[in-house]
């Protein structure tokens, strides 16, 4: 695999996100909702850089199964979600690929009547978007490569890497769609 973003570059990108989010949410009742499992590293770093009163919730969504990188059906588990009615919600995920995950989560959470709902991601893949939604905060645009590290996994491995690396094509089964 090849390093795409060093730990230092990731740190700078997360600091940029935090700066933009802090500015936009001054004086508002913010609830940050991390999308399990890929968002855990970003979530932990991001919330410590936000100088705002906030609550943290979690929602589980997964679409990738086993050693394939092809997107499967999305399953959502909202049992760990706090009350979000009348609160400003920011969904945090590792990556915006086709966008189906965040699109589906935004429409499900919207039914709980938050005051507003936006999304923030570390990475957005260029030219992969299949939905009308765009993430509101993006730290890095990346090429269409399967990436791991900083929370992102391949077959549940590599989430602990402190940098983001792209797998070589011969390292992944069924890359892309």
Residues annotated as part of the active site: 97
Residues 6+ apart with CB under 8 A from 34: 40, 42, 43, 56, 57, 58, 59, 92, 93
- Check binding of 59 to ligand IMP (CB under 6 A): no
Please identify, using beta-carbon distances, which residue of 25 and 146 lies nearer to Mg ion: 146
CA distances 68 to 3, 35, 140, 143, Å, are: 21, 20, 24, 19
End-to-end CA distance of the chain: 20
- Check binding of 98 to ligand IMP (CB under 6 A): yes
**Where are any strands of DSSP class E within the chain?**
2-5, 30-36, 54-62, 75-77, 88-96, 116-125, 137-142, 147-148, 164-166
Q: Which does 98 bind (CB under 5 to 8 A by kind): Mg ion, ligand IMP, none?
A: ligand IMP
- Check binding of 38 to Mg ion (CB under 5 A): yes
Subset of 10-39 contacting ligand IMP (CB under 6 A)? 38
Q: Which does 45 bind (CB under 5 to 8 A by kind): Mg ion, ligand IMP, none?
A: none
Position among 25, 137, 140, 146 found at the interface with ligand IMP (CB under 6 A): 146
- Check binding of 158 to ligand IMP (CB under 6 A): no
Please identify, using beta-carbon distances, which residue of 45 and 93 lies nearer to ligand IMP: 93
- Would you state the structure tokens that stand for residue 123, as one six-digit string? 């990475």
- Check binding of 96 to ligand IMP (CB under 6 A): yes
Q: Which residues bind Mg ion (CB under 5 A)?
A: 38
């Amino acid at each position: 695999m090849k390093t795409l973003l060093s730990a230092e570059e990731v740190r700078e990108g997360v600091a940029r996100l935090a700066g933009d989010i802090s500015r936009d949410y001054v004086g508002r009742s913010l609830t940050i909702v991390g999308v399990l499992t890929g968002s855990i590293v970003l979530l932990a770093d991001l919330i410590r850089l936000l100088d705002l009163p906030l609550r943290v919730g979690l929602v589980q969504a997964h679409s990738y199964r086993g050693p394939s990188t092809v997107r499967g059906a999305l399953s959502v588990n909202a049992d760990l979600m706090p009350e979000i009615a009348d609160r400003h919600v920011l969904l945090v995920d590792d990556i915006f690929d086709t966008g189906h995950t965040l699109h589906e989560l935004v429409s499900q959470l919207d039914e709980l009547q938050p005051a507003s709902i936006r999304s923030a991601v570390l990475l957005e893949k260029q030219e992969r978007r299949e939905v009308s939604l765009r993430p509101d905060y993006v730290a890095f645009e990346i090429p269409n490569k399967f990436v791991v590290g900083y929370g992102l996994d391949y077959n549940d491995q590599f989430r602990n890497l402190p940098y983001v690396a792209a797998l070589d094509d011969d390292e992944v089964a069924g890359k892309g769609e």
